[in-house]
Amino acid sequence: MPKAERRVCGASAVAALCLAVALAACGSVRPRPGGYYLDDGPGANPPAGLDRVPDAVPRAEPINRFASRPYTVLGRTYTPYTELRPYRARGRASWYGRRYHGQRTSLGEIYDMYSMSGAHTLLPLPSYARVTNLENGRSVVVRINDRGPFREDRIVDLSYAAAHRLGFLNRGSALVEVEAIVPGQEQPVSSVAAVTAIAPAPMPITGDAAGVFVQLGAFASPENAAAFARRVRADLSWLRNAPVVHRQGALYKVRTGPYADRESAERDAARMRRALGFSPFLTNP
């Protein structure tokens, strides 16, 4: 969405006036098929190695009191958190690129589209969050240093690099989970507890009425698969068979089952879809 709507820091009435003028000027902007706006998008010469851009490293930082004041955008008032606290929510993520590259964020820092950063309406500035793409299981840690996005169907705006790592650049948005990180209390996804979710591949099962599984995701990385399985287990605590990771060739597949028949698997798959916001599918080993 137009980044002009994100230029909210609450530091002065001048900033608010500039915001109103910018919003009026951007009223006719329309997104193009890639999901970004006509004067936004990827840079002309992106640096090599974007797949290897490291996650932001959470560290204790003082919260900016000016960027934590209540503010109003498009008739809606936001009251940001003034301290680090648990936060976990799901919604759609979008990203912003070259139009805002080199401009100042609401925190007063220079926005770098190739760093791991993000914008949120409520989380403290600065703070850190883990963002997980619920459609493919990819996860990144970003530093929240800006305000936005100001659309009801958006929960977080991410940098170009973060969206690239999460795999939704071309689509423009994705269903994600955002979880705040308190420095010193975070648990890395490669922890022993997460890796224990990995199980050996099940024995082949034949027949149409037995051996039906519901698959929620497939990953090349066992750590990512284990982290995803851990997250969905918390949301699907009602399942008789908790989701686990089955190694199958070069892939690690997050599945639940086996089910005795397709009808019971389809019922659970429909319930999972309502709980998770994406569609798992039935499969046989």
51-97 confidence digits (pLDDT tens): 888 999 999 899 998 888 999 988 889 999 999 988 888 889 998 87
pLDDT in tens, 133-154: 988 888 999 999 999 998 877 8
Query: 241 pLDDT band (50/70/90 cuts)?
Result: confident
Name the region of 107 (left: φ>0; alpha: ψ -120 to 50; beta: rest).
Answer: alpha
pLDDT in tens, 1-44: 334 344 443 332 233 333 333 333 333 233 333 344 445 555 56
Contact 254, 215 (CB under 8 A): yes
How much is the pLDDT for 147? 93
How much is the pLDDT for 19? 37
Compute the distance between CA of residue 111 and CA of residue 89 in angstroms, rounded to an integer: 24
Burial of residue 158, with CB atoms counted within 10 A of its CB: 0-12 exposed, 13-18 middle, 19 or more buried: buried
Compute the distance between CA of residue 63 and CA of residue 59 in angstroms, rounded to an integer: 12
Contact 126, 64 (CB under 8 A): yes
Please name the amino acid found at residue 200: P
Does residue 178 have a pLDDT over 80?
A: yes
Q: Which of the listed ranges 43-47, 123-127, 217-221 does the model predict with the highest average pLDDT?
A: 123-127
| C-alpha Rg value of the chain to the nearest Å | 21
Compute the distance between CA of residue 268 and CA of residue 238 in angstroms, rounded to an integer: 10
Does residue 281 have a pLDDT over 50?
A: yes
How much is the pLDDT for 41? 55
**Average pLDDT over the chain, rounded to whole?**
74
How much is the pLDDT for 23? 33
Q: CA nearest 198: which of 246, 151, 133, 144?
A: 246
Task: Answer with the residue of higher pLDDT: 196 or 258.
Answer: 258
